Structure 1
Amino acid sequence: MNAVVAIDNRLPSMEASRLSTLERLVDGLGPAELYWIAAWSAARAERLQRGDASTAVAAKAVAGQLTILYGSQTGQARRVAAQLHARAEAAGLAARLVRADAYPQRELAKETHLVVVISTQGDAEPPDDARGLVEFVLGKRAPKLPGLRYAVLGLGDSSYPQFCAIGRQLDDRLAALGATRFAALGEADVDVDAVAAPWSDSTLEQARQALGTSQPARVATLQPVPHRATHTREHPFHAAVLDNQSIVARDAGRDVRHMELSLEGSGLSYEPGDSLGVWPSNPPALVDQWLGVLKLDGEQVVTHEGRSLPLRQWLSRERELTRLSRPLVAVLADAAGDDELARLLRPDQSAALAALMAEHQPIDLWRRHASDWSAEELVAALRPLVPRLYSIASSRKAVGEEVHLTVGVVDYVAHGERHWGAASSFLAQAGDEQSLPIYIEPNERFRLPQDDARDIIMIGPGTGIAPFRAFVQERRETGARGRNWLFFGNRHFSSEFLYQVEWQAALRDGSLHRLDLAFSRDDAAKVYVQQRLREQGRELYAWLQEGAQLYVCGDANRMAKDVNAALIDIATTHGGHTHEQAREWLSDLLQQGRYARDVY
């Protein structure tokens, strides 16, 4: 049902044709979007009502425009930047929102007020959509910027040693180029809003003062009729489980699930390449481990930041139990008085810290570095539990009001104890009678080409195959004319060839044109997808030279880097490039959007 508003009768009337056009434009928008339009319209009206001074004001607005740039891999930086942009416009500021790869770099020298919201991926890597901008700003061609006032918000994950490294590098570099901060550097952990919200408040206030707007724009009074809210990260939809089955053999050694969830009644939509956000609960057995190791009572009520819950509920639904972070290591080292653990926090020990965080869960450190903890201290020390993102494995054109996932279940023994993943265990145990809190996270840079005659090359080992199942379904349903080439790899052909029957059917019906496979444990010599890429290098390079788009999905730490190296080798071997030219060629494909990565 569309939102209905009561409009002040004293407002001037609108021609019927224009009103009809306006109604068509806003049809289907949710309350948040309609309120944003209302605020933007009010700000525009106020500027127009300034009469004879409008020309001077317009000139000042252009000269004092606030540019908000974002670089985002998972959508968090985009979300924060979009919220800041909407608030800036509602406050009467002239502001524009630009994705980093769409920003004309020559304009940097002309900027007067700039906000950058950017994430750091893995080991101090920029998001793919910001690689070009970061290289430009950090490089020799960056201009001097004495007239620029700026603010940077870095997003990251403190489970990586170089937390928010890209944000720090940009903040330092802009200052070195002569620019002046109008807000201090912000560094947000996975609980993004805990830092992003107050940072945005402060930055917006500083921007308003710097740009001469001390008060927000007046907004016309609108009285909305109650309307069902759009389902978002903050207000997820509870999706019924339609199917949950293992798609590997019993002797595979690990479980991979195919899941189908109902979106009926949600109003949610998605495109191939988008992700599904899932709000998990920690496994009950893991919660029991924590209570046992720390000798705490799960029924004890703990009050933290104004909320009172039993400790078991804090640990089940509210706190991160499976991912280590640098701050947590520091807190534990201090509580235990452990010099060896504290030593890992030194800058020269970053490799050792990275290894610790990759190989251990928090409970492992609590076992090894014992100390007394109260329930209140534990809840305060642990990070909030945050949603997990899964690449969507279906096309709505093929499955209707459903969304499908491919989930690798984390369940293993290490250091003499059983370990679980939070979200994957939560999903693996979901039964037919259960509903799961979910939302859609768009991925603008991981889309099928608009030209359906363009060829695509998909590289997705393991569960990285998920979005390419969606791609092939979509291209089949739309009758796309371009060819589809898939590279898939896993450990064993007989037990871990995910969606084998579907790929064989796709080859028969022509919706998949080529399939190259790499199973690393079937022979004495391990074979991975990057080796298959090199073997097919001549034809792969030819496809790319003819305009094909290239997609990679899966592990960021090893696979994606190995694939990137293989592509550079292919360009040097079959394209006649030097190594540096090959790197530039691949970087150019990335900037064009013809080399897209969904890596994690």
Structure 2
Amino acid sequence: AVTRRASGTALTLLHGSNLGTCAGIARDLGTEGEEHGFAPSVAPLDTYTEKLAHAEGPVVIVAASYNGRPTDDAAEFVASLENLAPGSLTGLRYAVLGVGDRNWAATYQRIPTLIDERLTAAGAVPLLERGSADASGDFGGVVDQWTEDLWKVLLDEYGVAIAGEAAGPAPEAEGEGLYELEDTSESVLGGLAERHGVRPMEVLEAYELVDTDHELGRSKRFLRLRLPEGVTYRTADHLAVLPRNPEALVQRVADRFGLDLNRTVRLRARRRSRGALPVDRPLTLRRLLTDFVELQDAATQEQVAVLAEHTSCPPEKQPLTAVATADPETFREQVTAAGLSVLDLLERYRACELPFERFLELLPVLRPRHYSISSSAAARPWEADLMVSLLAAPHRSGEGTFRGIASHFLQTVNAGDVIQARVLPCSESFRLPEDTAVPVILVSAGTGLAPFRGAVLDRHHTGSTGTLLCYFGCDHPDVDFLHREEFEAAEAAGAVSMRPTFMHAPENGARFVQERIARESEEVWAVLEAGGRVYVCGDGRRMAPAVREAFMAIYRERTGASDEQAVAWLAALVGSGRYVEDVWAG
């Protein structure tokens, strides 16, 4: 067989990554590049600030946005793109893969798009069309297809035709013994742990933070983990936790496919795929479905098309085909927004004859979930605390209850157990200023309080004082005022001024954080006028927009500005790093 292979051609792989996804893809491309005969180098984008013209060989960029701004390892690089003169990158061949989440429509793919446009304007020539991988869509499929297209183009341009040769046995080395010991992973989870970079962490404490016997009590669990030797964190960093699927969800798969969960199998991939499960060792089907695959992700349009292909019964094939071929907005409404998984659809359309092996192929690899570390790195650098809300709500499809995979997994964890996790740095802009003379406003609700607990404990531990207003929303002071005694002790020491709001026990009419901010507008405005900073953490669907509006209302009230001027003012605060959000869509 004749194939193509590069002969040592340099290949520069650059990433802009806060949570590790883009860096991981770049490293994977580096490994694949070596297999194709390239000489790859992998680095953060900032290491090529104003040096792109000197990059060796073609350049591949994998980048994401953070609230519409560059990631921490790409900020200088992106800023420098404005200085590129037309023609300054003539001769450079490049490709861009953008990573984002379409739920954040206003800033989706903003930075990858900007990079692509600036490089083209400077004379660089794209190898192929920019890729757009959507974390809320068929992420793995898009990355796989774009990667396949990338190697085809690169090998067409830089490869040479070679004849395939059968690999013979390696000649026996003289003087070597029969056996050689190699270190390998202890468990079948080794490949998955390696892929995600997680390590075992012992659970030191696990208990409920909320009075769940109260009618308003919604579970929020506290976990304290011992960090492995050599692992450190900084206050406000994240912990990525690799969860396990609950038994009831795994049993649904067994029931649909008629599986014996105790059957021992060995799963081998017949061909290379980025989405392939990292398993090539004997394990039970129960272990495979519990520890390796995502069972609850909303189905993609491509997956529904596969279900339709495997359905011959007309009354069931027709609706599946209609959904698979619907326009994107209709599909989003009927499947994505409803949270219907492949398993949900298989249970709804019983006539579908999808084989179990094909079902596995459709499923993404189980991924870690990110939680803000709630402890103080100054006070307890060897331990990391978490506060985890139990996610349980009526399913958006109207059928049954939706339960969060990770939050339910962490509900089952007890002291003495071991979980797989890794520390991930938060955005540098989300760290409180080291100068405690800079006034600060913290705004959160529920477990969004987590990183702010760490910040308050930092100040309490070091004896720091200064203006630190902590607005915190919860249900009731007797139910879920999280870590109340700690915060009251810190307040008594002058480290913080707590500003709680209680939805079911309002004080002076304030049920939500934005209402208390509005009520205390004079003090809030004084902080802003003094160059203060605002940090918001928690729900991005309702709370964060309401808090933004509260700050803009204060600006309009104090300055007489128009709505448009208030929007521009807040945008300027965000742009300067004085108003920072770490929020999630929920």
**1:125-172 C-alpha deviation (Å, 9 max, x unpaired):** 635659999999999x99867846432112245899999754774587
**1:541-567 C-alpha deviation (Å, 9 max, x unpaired):** 321231222211112333223323333
Instruction: Answer yes or no: is 1:151 the counterpart of 2:151.
Output: no
TM-score, normalised relative to structure 1: 0.70
Alpha-carbon separation, structure 2, partners of 1:461 and 1:355: 30
Residue in 1 aligned with 2:407?
A: 424
Residue in 2 aligned with 1:242?
A: 204
Relative to structure 1, the CA distance from residue 576 to residue 501 in structure 2 (aligned partners, 3 Å threshold; closer, same or farther) is same
Report the secondary structure of 1:530's partner residue: helix
Structure 2, unaligned stretches of length 5 or more?
1-9, 159-181, 186-192, 271-279
The structure 2 residue matched to 1:260, chosen from 211, 224, 240, is 224
| 8 Å contact kept, 2:510–2:516 | no
Report the secondary structure of 1:460's partner residue: strand
Residue in 2 aligned with 1:287?
A: 250
Alpha-carbon separation, structure 2, partners of 1:569 and 1:103: 39
Matches within 5 A, 1:500-539: 500-513=484-497, 515-522=498-505, 527-539=511-523
Residue in 2 aligned with 1:297?
A: 260
Residue in 2 aligned with 1:367?
A: 347
The structure 2 residue matched to 1:398, chosen from 372, 379, 385, is 379
Report the secondary structure of 2:479's partner residue: helix
| 8 Å contact kept, 1:81–1:97 | no
Alpha-carbon separation, structure 1, partners of 2:309 and 2:80: 38
How much has 1:569 moved relative to structure 2? 2.9
Report the secondary structure of 2:234's partner residue: coil
How much has 1:438 moved relative to structure 2? 1.1
Alpha-carbon separation, structure 2, partners of 1:144 and 1:552: 40
RMSD (Å) for aligned C-alpha atoms: 4.8
The structure 1 residue matched to 2:442, chosen from 458, 464, 474, is 458
How much has 1:75 moved relative to structure 2? 4.0
Report the secondary structure of 2:437's partner residue: coil
How much has 1:442 moved relative to structure 2? 0.9
Residue in 2 aligned with 1:493?
A: 477
How much has 1:381 moved relative to structure 2? 1.2
**1:479-510 C-alpha deviation (Å, 9 max, x unpaired):** 33432111111233332222222222222121
Residue in 1 aligned with 2:457?
A: 473
**1:447-488 C-alpha deviation (Å, 9 max, x unpaired):** 121323222211111110000001111122233343211111
How much has 1:287 moved relative to structure 2? 0.8
| 8 Å contact kept, 1:183–1:206 | no
Alpha-carbon separation, structure 2, partners of 1:132 and 1:494: 44
Relative to structure 1, the CA distance from residue 228 to residue 491 in structure 2 (aligned partners, 3 Å threshold; closer, same or farther) is same
How much has 1:196 moved relative to structure 2? 8.0
Alpha-carbon separation, structure 2, partners of 1:126 and 1:361: 29
Matched to 2:378, the amino acid is K
Residue in 2 aligned with 1:126?
A: 68
Relative to structure 1, the CA distance from residue 379 to residue 494 in structure 2 (aligned partners, 3 Å threshold; closer, same or farther) is same
Alpha-carbon separation, structure 1, partners of 2:243 and 2:256: 23
Report the secondary structure of 1:398's partner residue: coil
Q: How many aligned positions are there?
A: 513
Alpha-carbon separation, structure 1, partners of 2:530 and 2:550: 19
Identity across matched positions, percent: 29
Matched to 1:237, the amino acid is R
| 8 Å contact kept, 1:294–1:372 | no
Structure 1, unaligned stretches of length 5 or more?
1-63, 211-225
How much has 1:581 moved relative to structure 2? 3.5
| 8 Å contact kept, 1:138–1:173 | no
Relative to structure 1, the CA distance from residue 387 to residue 69 in structure 2 (aligned partners, 3 Å threshold; closer, same or farther) is closer
Matched to 1:373, the amino acid is L
TM-score, normalised relative to structure 2: 0.72
> Which region of structure 1 is more displaced relative to structure 2, 532-541 or 281-290?
532-541
Alpha-carbon separation, structure 1, partners of 2:403 and 2:479: 22
| 8 Å contact kept, 2:573–2:579 | yes
